[in-house]
Chain A
Amino acid sequence: MKTQLLSIAAAGLLSLTSVWAAAPVVIQNATIMTVTNGTINNGSVVLQDGKIVAVGTKVNIPAGATIVDGTGKYVIPGIIDCHSHIATEAVNEGSLSVSSMVGITDTINPEDIAIYRAMAGGVTTANILHGSANSIGGKTVVLKMRWDHSADQMLFEGATPGIKFALGENPKRRGAAAMPGLTATPPRYPATRMGVEDVIREAFTGAKAYKASWDEYNAKAAKGIVAIPPARDLKYEPLVEVLEGKRFVHSHCYRQDEILMLLRVADDYGFKVRTLQHVLEGYKVAKEIAAHGAGASTFSDWWAYKVEAYDAIPYNATLMMRKGVLVSLNSDDAELMRHLNEEAAKTMKYGGATETEALSMVTINPAKQLGIDKRVGSIEVGKDGDVVIYDQHPLSTFTKVEKVYIDGQLYFDRSKDLADRPTKEAEKKALITKAAEEQKKNAPQGGGRRGGGL
């Protein structure tokens, strides 16, 4: 009795403290594309206690391991999307152009079906950002696609937090008084790219002064001098973290002028732009981006949907890469997110990237950009057990994801998804029937609501 209770308690503790307590997994006889250490034919990967514990042609099989036959299949590290808005209930706090006080973490919906679908497309980690309505948006968060877990359990432990900036057409849109269909009055500053620069400078001028007031207070406090602490300012706190290098700037941008503008502002205020997002004209100023040390996270071939995207070229990623910029491909879209591997393949067509370069842009490069490359982004011993099994070469249009492991646990299994469909369909029918019966039963006598339910 006592032991039983103990084991129940232990199990409870385990499920509370750790989401990765599963049997070891050995994927055998597969083509293992490690990304950082070449490709291993007829190789194996061993996942244990959430981590990759062995990779190679000969590995020790842990006791009780689940063996997965990978004959004819390909294994790559889980795909990382550096720009996504899935699993969010709210994206833009558009009433101010500096809304650094808000955080996307407060809006995470772990039941968004887009999480499951992204995972079924090989994505295991995503950078979740605010929208681009504001010059300075809000605090971003990195999530692992731990489907069927709570929002807190999806957080990528220890990932450096970020903040979303946006330049160009989107943040200045609210400044246009006569925007058709937009009744927001009065117009919100800024209305031009010039104004966007000023908004960011004003914000950092304030943040610097705020930081100085705290530095002064802390210095006094350290010396034991009695002083009154400055009032906290939730708008400036994240910007101070940016100045201290504790928070990454991920900035939406398109045109070369605004890219250079932000790099210069960052230089002036002494912070780094971690990634330029979209950065469709990045190829024009690749040299300057590389010199600043900013990463670039772009689309493979989106263009012409608005004026600032008219000079976008599908060679952007490869051209920036060749000029020394760390480049990733992102989705910004729940659909595109499902086939980032195919987007990566386009860098081979447009600009002649190698297979490894192409795959890097959706694995190790975004991991580096998010500062999580010690944990994910390649198949290496000691890294998280985040791997994807494809039935064909992952850079082929004919391929599809068969299995996805996160923290060494099986999170997506195509064969199970297919097998479960009849049951789910029956369950859905039963629920609809039940709902219809309830509605009929509860309908008020003599008319009332017709139809409804939409």
Chain B
Amino acid sequence: MFLRMLFRAAILRRGRAAAALLAMIVAAAVATAMMNLYVDVQAKLRGEFRNYGANIVIVAKDGQSLPANALTKVESALGAKTLADPFSYAVARTKDGQSVVVVGTDFARARQLNPWWKVIEYFDARLIPSKGWVPPKTALIGVRAAPIVSPDRQPFELSFHDRTITLEPGGSLQTGADEDSRIYLDQSEFQSWTGVVPSTIEVSANGTAAEVEASIHQLAQLLPAADIRPIRQIMEGEANVLNKTRATLYASATLIVLTSALCVLATLIGWVFDRRRDFAIMKALGASERLINGFFAAEAAVLGVVGGILGFFVGIGVAAWIGRANFHAPVVPRFSVFPYILIGSMIVALVSAILPIALLRRVQPAIILRGE
């Protein structure tokens, strides 16, 4: 009987029931999409911020050098997602006695770590399969160093402690910073020429501020001979922008969810008020207060659950679309928000059912049935 009353009520007033359900679905969908985005967008933005390059730098302590396996250690400790790039420095002299900083590094890694480096290759990159920028045995020359060491792209000589090497220019490098005055070589080539091993490893660790902090601690234990420091410029800039974005998103999400919830409330209250005749007839036929309350509450609960479930899936779709449209990567559905959506929908539905009932209870059924 109870179940039949529930379903007949919905079937007889299809239009109104559908409108109430629609409002519920929209509210739940918007809430789901906002919660999904709020969590996922931060991870997505952090990924974008990694384009700023390294946020941790590992430097050998004074007068020491990093252990030979330092890079392997760092990579195995921090996992595959972390980018690490070793750098070794030496001050060499050109043929006419000009000092220039020469850096040994791994071009393939440097390219991933520093996507803003503007490299113009002197050779046709399509002809030379290379993971880095320039073919082996050639040097990448900073734009300010280029006119001094190799004005017409001719091979040039560099000497370091009486050991001379002849290098062929492979490309030019422009960053707008110190790199512009330097010459970059492949690490193994650099090492066989100068004998200098890497003194610095730049690490780009992905994750929240706390996770990066944990990575720093982990590295400090792993490499006691090195000085491990966060690059504050990058970390603080990121934290600042991310916090503001998060706060804005949070405010927007709260506003939107609140509006949707209030509108569901208004729609449902209208619906229940509209059915005061049902209420009056039930009461006139001798139904107890508890039964009537239970009936309307059950109705609201069913509406809340159905609306919440449907809205959840619609919302995941919306969040995925936003992720694809803006970040070119789908937002991962978070089923952990499902219980919150379900409970929230039910609470809103119950409140909007019980509020009008409490008002109607004080009215005599006869007055309602007379249509006053």
Q: Do A and B bind each other?
A: no
Chain A residues close to B by CB (< 8 Å): none
